Structure 1
Amino acid sequence: MTHTFVDINGQSPVRLHVVQAGPTEGPLVILLHGFPEFWYGWKQQIDALAEAGFWVWAPDQRGYNLSEKPAGIKSYALDILVADVIGLIDAAGRQKAVVVGHDWGAAVAWWTAVSFPERVERLVVLNVPHPVVMKKFASRDVGQMLRSWYIGFFQLPVLPEFLSRSGNATVLVKTLLGSSRPGTFKRADLVQYKVAWLQPGAINAMINWYRAALRVPLAKRPSVRVTVPTLLIWGVRDKFLKREMAQPSIDLCDTGRVVFFDEATHWVQHEEAKRVNELILGG
C-alpha cells in the first residue's frame, strides 16, 4: 500500500488522502467507506483486490481522517460527494472504474452510477439501499424510521459532536462493537479508528454528511434507474437498515442482483471478507 494525496477540482475542491495498491495498469477499483470508518474499513479487501490485478484506490472521503475537511454543511451534499468520485477517476487517468461502497460510501456509489453511468464499469454496494428507496422507507416505514433515529439526532447543533467526541470517542466505539458480530473489531482496530475520529474537525465533518442529506436537495436526474451492472451485498442482521429495502433497490437496476449473508451484520465486508472479496471480483 502507498499513501498519497489527490487534489479534486470538482464542485467543491478538496484534497483527499488515498491509499493505493496493485498494478497501475490494472482496472481501477475505488473503495468508498462509510460512517464512522475511513480507508482502513477496507483493510481486508485492498490486498486481495490488488493481488487479483486491480489498481485499488481507497480514499478517506472528504471530512474523514487525513482528508481535507471543508467548512459548512453544503460541502457534504451527495452531489458534491459524487463529484469527488469522478475527480478520483479523472486523477487516475481513467474513463471508468469499478465503484464499491459501504454504508455512506454505498449511497455515494449508487448516486454516482445514477448520475454518471458512463464513468462506472460496475457497481458493488454493501448494506445500503438505493437513495430513492432509502428516502421512501425512512419517511413511511415505521420500523425503518425507528432504526434511523440517529439521523434526526445528528441534525441538532453541537450536541452530537460533543457526545461523539467525549470519553475518547466512547459512543462511536460502542456503536461498532454493539452492532457487529463479537470479535469483528479488535482492540488494535479501535486504536486506529480513534486516531481517525479525533483528527481536528473530523467528527463535525462526519456528522455534516447526515445534515446535508436532509437539508441539501439532490440535483434532478432524467432517471433514477441504474443502468450499469450492479451487485448488492447485504448482511441480514443489520441493526440500522431493513433487508426489505434490498429488493426494491435491485428493481431499480437494469442488470442487478442481491446476495444476502444471513449471519452477517451491517459490517459484512469485515465479517465475511473472503466471500465479499470473491463477489467484488465477480465471483
Structure 2
Amino acid sequence: MSPKHRHVSANDITMHCTEQGEGPLVLLLHGFPETSYSWRHQLQPLAEAGYRVVAPDQRGYGSTDCPEGVDNYTILHLVGDVVGLIHALGEKHAVVVGHDWGAAIAWHTALLRPDIVRGVAGVSVPPMPRGPVPPMSDARERFGEDFYQVYFQQPQAAEAELAKDIPTTFRKVLAGTPTGEGSFLGRFAVPESLPGWLTEADLATFTGQFATTGFTGGLNWYRNLDRNWELTAAWQDAPIVPPALYVIGEHDFVRSVCPPDMLENPALVPDLRAVVDVPDSGHWTQQERPAEVNKALLDFLNGL
C-alpha cells in the first residue's frame, strides 16, 4: 500500500491530494509555507491503522489551483474547500487535522460545519476566539509593525524576499536559528547543518513546489485576517463542539503568541479530549517528531 496522487474538483477549484488507505476519512491540512508533503510521515501509519488519509495541497499551494486576487482566500473560501473536498471524495463526514494555518482551517471547519466534522485536531495553533478588535490592530499593538503577520500585509514585499533565493528561504525557515533581528528571513541564521528530521531531498521538494507556484497564494491567507474577523461576526463566542485534540511542540514559537492555557476555558472547546506536549520539538511538529504526533493522533482517532 503506497500513497496515490489525484486531482479533485471542489468548491470551484481543482485540488491536488495525496491519499492512502481505506476506512473513515481523515483530512490532513498543511500550514505556511508548506504543502501536503509536510504530512509524509503520517500517511502510512494512519492508513495502516484503518483510516482513509487524504492530504491536499490547499488553495494557493503546490499543484492545487491558485486563484488570482486576495479576496479569493478568505476563511469562508478555505473552509468551503474542505467541505467541498469531503463531499467530492464521496464522504459525509471526516476527522479534520491541521498544522499551523491548517490548524486554523481545521478549527474553523469544526466551528462552522460541526455536522460534518467527526473530530478535529490542531497541531501547533490552538483555536483562537474572535477578539474584540480586528486582528491586525491587535497584532500591531502587541508586537509592533515588524511582526511577521503585519509585514505580510504589504503587497509583494514578502513575495520578493521569500522568492529571491528559495532554497535558502526553506533552509532558514525550517531549520534556521532565530536571531530576532532584521527582515523576516533576516531573523533566521542559516544552519551549519540540517537537523536529523530534515533532509536535502525534503528541502528540494519544497523548493521545487514553491519555485513553480510562488508564495502569493499562501500570503493571501494572512492578508484576509481582518476580513475573516468581519466575516465571522455571527460566530462570536460560539463553541467548537466536535471532539477535539491539541498538539504542540515543547519549543514551538507559537507558545509565546498563543499560550496553550487559553484552552483551559471549557466554553471554547467543551469536548477537548487531550492536550499533548511534544518534547524536544519546534514548530514543524509532525515533521520533527512524527512518532509522537502519530501516537497522539491515533489515540484520538481510535477513541472517537
- After TM superposition, is the score higher than 0.5? yes
| 1:172-227 CA distance string (max 9 Å, x none) | 33111126993332111000000111113x31111111111234433322753111
Query: C-alpha distance in 2, partners of 1:75/1:61?
Result: 13
Partner of 2:269: 253
Question: Which runs of 5 or more structure 1 residues have no equivalent in the other structure?
Answer: none
Which residue identity does 2:262 align to in structure 1?
Answer: P
Is residue 189 from structure 1 mapped to residue 205 from structure 2 by the alignment?
no
> 1:139: Cα distance to partner?
6.0
Poorly superposed stretches of 4+, deviation over 4 Å: 133-144
Which residue number in structure 2 is paired with residue 213 of structure 1? 225
TM-score, length-scaled by structure 1:
0.89
Q: Select which of 31, 35, 42 maps to 1:38.
A: 35
**Structure 2 counterpart of 1:177, which letter?**
A
- Indicate whether 1:56 and 2:68 are aligned: no
Tell me which residue corresponds to 1:74. 71
Residue matched to 2:159: 161
User: Aligned residue for 1:8?
Assistant: 10
Counterpart contact for 1:22–1:54, Cα < 8 Å: yes
Aligned in 2, Cα 1:229/1:266: closer, same or farther, shift over 3 Å?
A: same
Tell me by how many angstroms 1:282 deviates. Answer: 1.9
Cα shift at 1:262: 3.5
**Aligned counterpart, 2:19:** 20
Q: Does the CA-based 8 Å contact 1:111-1:131 persist in structure 2?
A: no
Query: Which residue identity is paired with 2:89?
Result: A
CA distance in 1 between counterparts of 2:125 and 2:47 reads 25
Q: Is 2:241 aligned against 1:227?
A: yes
Which segments of 5 or more consecutive residues in structure 2 lack a partner in the other structure?
179-193
CA contact (8 A) 2:244 2:269 kept: yes
Amino acid at match of 1:49: L
Counterpart in 2 of 1:115? 112
Identical amino acids, percent of aligned pairs: 35
Deviations 1:111-141 (A, max 9, x none): 0000011111111110102132789898668
Query: Over the residues paired in the alignment, what is the CA RMSD in angstroms?
Result: 2.5
Shift of 1:144: 6.7
AA at the equivalent of 1:211: R
Structure 1 residues 139 and 198 mapped into 2: Cα distance closer, same or farther (>3 Å)?
same
Moved more, 161-170 or 183-192: 161-170
* 1:258 Cα deviation from its structure 2 partner: 1.0
Aligned-partner Cα distance in 2 for 1:177–1:278: 24
Equivalent residue number for residue 93 of structure 1: 90
* Amino acid in structure 2 at the alignment position of 1:157: P
Structure 2 vs 1, CA of residues 114 and 147 (structure 1 numbering), >3 Å: closer, same or farther?
Answer: farther
The code of the aligned residue for 1:199 comes to T
| Local SS of the residue matching 1:198 | helix
CA gap of 1:148–1:176, structure 2 versus 1, over 3 A, is: farther
For these two proteins, the number of residue pairs brought into alignment is 277
**In structure 1, what residue type is equivalent to 2:226?**
L
Higher helix proportion = 1
For 2:208, what is the secondary structure of its paired residue? helix
For residue 102 of structure 1, what is the aligned residue in structure 2?
A: 99
Q: 2:175 maps to which residue?
A: 177
Q: In structure 2, what is the Cα distance between the partners aligned to 1:158 and 1:204?
A: 8
- Contact kept, 8 Å, 1:236 with 1:261, in 2: the verdict is yes
* Larger CA deviation: 132-141 vs 224-233: 132-141
Cα distance in 1 between the residues matched to 2:295 and 2:126: 21
Matched, 1:262 2:279: yes
SS class of match (2:196): coil
Q: Which amino acid aligns with 2:259?
A: M
Verify the 8 A CA contact 2:281 2:289 in the aligned structure 1.
yes
User: Using the alignment, how far apart are the partners of 1:133 and 1:184 within structure 2?
Assistant: 35
Deviations 1:47-101 (A, max 9, x none): 1111111011100001001000001111111121001110111012211101100
Query: Which among 183, 191, 204 is matched to residue 216 of structure 2?
Result: 204
